[in-house]
Structure 1
Amino acid sequence: MDSLGLFILLMLLCLQWTAAHAAEDTPWTYKGLVGQSEWSQYFPACGGTSQSPVDVMTTQTKYDPNLIPLTPLGYGQHGNNPFTLHNNGHTVVIELPDWMGIGGLPWLFTAAQMHLHWGSGGPSHGGSEHTINGLSADAELHVVHYNSELYPNMSTAMTKRDGLAVLGVLIVTGEETNPGFNNIINYLSRVRHADQKVFIPAFDIQSLLPQDLGRYYRYNGSLTTPPCYQSVIWSVFHERVQISKAQLLKMETLLYSTKSEEPERMLLQDNYRATQPLNHRVVFASFTAESGKELSSGEVTAIVIGVMCGCVGLAVIVRFIVKTIRFFKLLHHETVAVNSSTSSWDVLHNNRPAPMPRMKEPEKAKEKKQDLALNSTSAGERKDEPSASPQTEP
């Protein structure tokens, strides 16, 4: 009886192990028979309560002053050994050497690999896995590390709750080509089909990251692909990285999810998982809302130019107003001056004396002659008066 019970127990364990490995080997897709909605049926962890990616609502994040800037370790020390570029049918993967790692986390994490996620509709049509305030980017880069301080390898660490640390980099498109991403995109044509691998020249992995590594969002989540183990410490950078539209187009159209021997070719597109519920998880931020409003150099330049133009415009308006005021003041002074130069007789014409009537010229002459005659007569009389007095004889 004991032997029979032991035999049954071994059979059950064998069946469980076989079922687990069978599930891990189940081919899955983003759309189709074993698409995202069916992942949890074959991979139970995909139905967990701490799944990734998530939508980061910035107004609901919590500032954590203990989140220090992340420090890439050995990202630029690639040496002469090439990297391996691999199309696994779901994405394109670059295997990273074990001397690379990331600092700024509770434990030492060693780099394992990095891969990309993208869409199919070009710019502004989505393609990233994480979203910020409901808005997705055009693509997303994941740099995967495992906890080498606690676990011996990636396989063991990925099953532990604190086993992995992934950097999430949101990618947007613009006019300028990103030379860092050309180190990957220029070699995609050599791994067009699933299971193809190629060696590519090593390059500085930090050239793919944003310049500001101090502002990011932190939460506990999972792998975004089956088996969806909930073992990831996520750090999603606030700053976006820009690539050109041509680079995004190559990413979306060069690769196939099918093998080269398969007759029907299927483009490798829309390889991103939909956002998952937070389920009472908290997304922490390494920066406050005020510091999150810091602007890039281009935005600062635009603001400075705008302020300068505004100041010039304001100066022109003030100058115009001042000149207008001076003009009206001058016009007022000139009006007062003209009014003050007018004769008081014109202003007070009622008080002006009436003019004397003019005498005719003959009358004046006659009057003058009469005056002369009278004067001469008076003079004669005064002359004859002494001779007329009587003389006295002795």
Structure 2
Amino acid sequence: MDCVALFMLLFLPGLHWTAAEETSWTYTGMVGQSEWSEHYPECGGTSQSPVDVVTTQTKYDPALTPLTPLGYSQHGNQPFTLYNNGHTAVIELPDWMSLGGLPWLFSAVQMHLHWGNGGPSYGGSEHTINGQSAEAELHVLHYNSELYPNMSAAMTQRDGLAVLGILIVTGEETNPAFNNIINYLSRIRHANQKVFIPAFDVQSLLPEDLGRYYRYNGSLTTPPCYQSVIWSLFNERVQISKAQLLKMETILFSSKAGDPDRMLLQDNYRATQPLNHRAVFASFTAESGKELTSGEVTAIVIGIMCGCVGLAVIVRFIIKTIRFFTLLHHETVAVNRWHSSPTRTRLALINCVVCNIPFWIEKCL
């Protein structure tokens, strides 16, 4: 990677641009979200991100094949860099990690997180689905290395960037993969602090199902809001524990270490933006239902098999019961005729009963 690209990596905050900033932006306050467009004109563009994905209005596109992380799990021995840029926690990625399944090859740049404040108000993710937020969101940023020489050249081009969006929800179980990041946040508590952390399998942060996602053209979610991003928002959520989320929400500061007033780094997510007639495509159909794990598929198959066996046993029991009562009925009729018939007929009835052929009784008679 050349010097210009390396410079960009060190100072591009999340999906942010700080190297050329003239104004220090924030999520709230004097230069908050509502004022971004005054200082960064593209933030007022018609193809901004994030967006609310209304699933009933998405369009199925069979050409959207499963995304293919290349080299995500082959992290090598070189450590990753974890960096607090005052807006989020950034993990810089080696450019030999890349993403397939797109029209071009995209090389990895970095990944970062967005979260809320741990309060009663629900929110933290940038994208929403059917108006519902998740507790946090992970973004993995790539640049089009097939068409452009570096990140700085690609980020202003309409087909220059590709970002994976992963919605994060909470549960009771700890997610070990996210501890590769969360356990080191205490070392970068203040803005501009940086630390080396052990490399890990980046793919372990992603959902298991990489084939079900939403695709649309959008922008960086922070200034300068370049409208150059091909977004892929996964349908499957990733789960972390409540304790992991709480640590993420309360441990970092947006202020520098020497600042007299320390400010917690919270609510670092942008509000959803208008679609403005943009299409949101889906790689799957609504009729396909929710995704099933291999365990769920196995359980369904076993359940169907057990149901079929149970049904066969019940049918067999019913048939045998009908045959039993039919035999009993014919034998009762035969006995009644025995008492009301002459000696010759009685002998015939005895032969029929002994032979266990009740349905021939009439012929015997």
State if a TM-score over 0.5 links the two structures.
yes
Match runs of 1:178-217 below 5 Å: 178-217=175-214
Deviation at 1:120, TM superposition (A): 1.1
Do structure 1's residue 261 and structure 2's residue 246 form an aligned pair? no
Q: Classify 1:47/1:201 alpha carbon distance in 2 versus 1 (closer, same or farther; 3 Å).
A: same
Unaligned ranges ≥5, structure 1: 1-19, 323-394
Deviation at 1:302, TM superposition (A): 8.2
Deviation at 1:175, TM superposition (A): 1.1
Please state whether the residue corresponding to 2:286 is helix, strand or coil: coil
Deviation at 1:309, TM superposition (A): 12
Q: 1:135 aligns with which of 132, 144, 161?
A: 132
1:123–1:173 contact (8 Å) kept in structure 2: no
| Largest Rg, 1 or 2 | 1
Deviation at 1:121, TM superposition (A): 2.4
Deviations 1:86-119 (A, max 9, x none): 0000000001001100001111110001000011
| CA distance in 1: counterparts of 2:18 and 2:92, whole angstroms | 24
Deviation at 1:22, TM superposition (A): 10
Q: Classify 1:42/1:76 alpha carbon distance in 2 versus 1 (closer, same or farther; 3 Å).
A: same
Please state whether the residue corresponding to 2:209 is helix, strand or coil: coil
Displaced runs of 4 or more, over 4 A: 20-23, 297-311
Partner AA of 1:169 in structure 2? I
1:188–1:255 contact (8 Å) kept in structure 2: yes
Do structure 1's residue 96 and structure 2's residue 93 form an aligned pair? yes
Deviation at 1:291, TM superposition (A): 2.4
Deviations 1:318-361 (A, max 9, x none): 9xxx9xxxxxxxxxxxxxxxxxxxxxxxxxxxxxxxxxxxxxxx
Please state whether the residue corresponding to 1:136 is helix, strand or coil: coil
Partner AA of 2:118 in structure 1? G
Match runs of 1:151-162 below 5 Å: 151-162=148-159
Partner AA of 1:268 in structure 2? L
| CA distance in 1: counterparts of 2:238 and 2:115, whole angstroms | 14
Residue 77 of structure 2 corresponds to which residue in structure 1?
80
Q: Classify 1:212/1:270 alpha carbon distance in 2 versus 1 (closer, same or farther; 3 Å).
A: same
Q: Classify 1:309/1:260 alpha carbon distance in 2 versus 1 (closer, same or farther; 3 Å).
A: farther
Residue 276 of structure 1 corresponds to which residue in structure 2?
273
| CA distance in 1: counterparts of 2:26 and 2:278, whole angstroms | 27
Q: Classify 1:307/1:189 alpha carbon distance in 2 versus 1 (closer, same or farther; 3 Å).
A: farther
Decide which structure has greater helix share. 1
Q: 1:165 aligns with which of 162, 166, 180?
A: 162
| CA distance in 2: counterparts of 1:301 and 1:266, whole angstroms | 50
Q: 2:57 aligns with which of 60, 64, 84?
A: 60
Residue 232 of structure 1 corresponds to which residue in structure 2?
229
Deviations 1:164-184 (A, max 9, x none): 000001111111111111100
1:216–1:286 contact (8 Å) kept in structure 2: yes
Partner AA of 2:136 in structure 1? A
Unaligned ranges ≥5, structure 2: 1-16, 319-365
| CA distance in 1: counterparts of 2:103 and 2:120, whole angstroms | 37
| CA distance in 2: counterparts of 1:138 and 1:21, whole angstroms | 26
Partner AA of 1:254 in structure 2? I
Deviation at 1:305, TM superposition (A): 10
Residue 3 of structure 2 corresponds to which residue in structure 1?
none
> Could you state the TM-score of these two structures normalised by the residue count of structure 1?
0.71
Residue 25 of structure 1 corresponds to which residue in structure 2?
22
> Could you state the TM-score of these two structures normalised by the residue count of structure 2?
0.77
| CA distance in 1: counterparts of 2:225 and 2:157, whole angstroms | 12
Partner AA of 2:152 in structure 1? S
Partner AA of 2:239 in structure 1? Q
Q: 1:69 aligns with which of 50, 66, 69?
A: 66
